[in-house]
Amino acid sequence: MVVFEKPKSLTDAEFHYCPGCTHGIIHRLVAEAIDALGIEGRAIGVAPVGCAVMAYNYFACDMVEAAHGRAPAVATGIKRSLPENIVFTYQGDGDLASIGMAETVHAATRNENITVIFVNNAIYGMTGGQMAPTSLPGQVTQTSPYGRDVSVAGYPVKVAELLSSLDGPEFIARVAVNNVKNVKNAKKIIEKAFQNQIDGKGFSLVEVISSCPTNWGMTPDKALAWVEEKMIPYYPLGVFKDKTAEQEEKKA
């Protein structure tokens, strides 16, 4: 009996991610959600610029490679053209919360019926560890060598909180993948973010707190501990907006 197999929605291509990077887990969770919902044949993914730039080789569905930060706009075009398909973006923090902030906010406020997987590891990984919009105060990176000084570089962007202040989006949640319990919850939430699109409910974003051992300069297990000790206190987990649930609550 096979108890563990690769999701159908992942190709056989080998991931290029660093040892201990949680992109692999998140790819798997997305693929499992697509498999579980039986939407592989109509899924279209949009890959970002960043560490996940080659996600188009890993997801077995049709894929489009977007310019840096533009994935929500590209996904908007795809979804408007093919409303019956299931369109998702997979983006990092530099991509989504810095250069692509306008595209993110406006896709959310239009309640564009797409699913956004937002991987927040508080650093630019692909380019070698620069300060991200989500780098923590005091965090040492290549471009904040003395630690992020908020009086110069400003404060981290809390994407889930920011977007949940909008009237538009259907569903905004933050999860983490640093331990089994959190991974299991992340799986549930990511599946919901896709189910929402199937149900025509609209923009659903899942912020996934992730780790980057290589650029944080930590071993994988230390990086996971850092997620627990530093990141989650700054970026609390939970569902920040669920319009359908709110409406049902009101009715009840």
Partner 1 sequence: MGNKVLMKGNEAIAESAIRAGCRHYFGYPITPQTEVAAYMAKRMPKIGGTFLQAESEIAAINMVYGVAATGRRVMTSSSSPGVSLKQEGISYIAGSDLPALIVNVQRGGPGLGGIQPSQSDYFQATKGGGHGDYHLIVLAPSSVQEMADMTALAFDLADRYLMPVMLLADGTIGQMMEPVELPEAREPQFAEKDWAVTGTKGRREHHIVNSLYLVPEQLEQKNFERFERYARIEREEARFESFMMEDAEICVVAFGIAARVSKNAVMAARREGLKVGMIRPITLWPFPSAALAEAAKTVKGFLSVELSMGQMIEDVKLAVSCSRPVSLCRRTGGMIMSPDEVLAKIRETAGGNE
Chain residues in the site for partner 1 (CB under 8 A): 11, 40-44, 46, 53-54, 56-57, 59-67, 70, 73-82, 85, 102-103, 105-106
| CB nearer partner 1, residue 69 or residue 213 | 69
Pairing mode of beta strands 171-176, 204-209? parallel
Count the residues in the chain: 252
Task: Quote the least distance from Cβ 252 to partner 1, whole Å.
Answer: 36
Calpha distance 7→97 (Å, rounded): 29
Q: Which is closer to partner 1, CB of 74 or CB of 223?
A: 74
Instruction: Residue 121: count other Cβ atoms within 10 Å of its Cβ.
Output: 28
Q: Helix 71-81 to helix 101-109 angle, to the nearest 10 degrees?
A: 40
Nearest Cα neighbor of 89 from 103, 192, 12 is 103
Nearer to partner 1, 49 or 208 (CB): 49
Q: Do the strands 123-124 and 238-242 form a parallel or antiparallel pair, or are they unpaired?
A: unpaired
10 beta partners:
59
Closest contact distance (angstroms) between CB of 195 and partner 1 is 17
φ and ψ of 140, to 5 deg: -85, 125
Q: Which is nearer to partner 1, 59 or 90 (CB)?
A: 59
**Cα 64 from Cα 54, distance rounded (Å):** 10
Cβ 121 to partner 1 shortest distance, Å: 21
Q: Of 8 and 222, which has the nearer Cβ to partner 1?
A: 8
User: For residue 52, what is the DSSP state?
Assistant: G
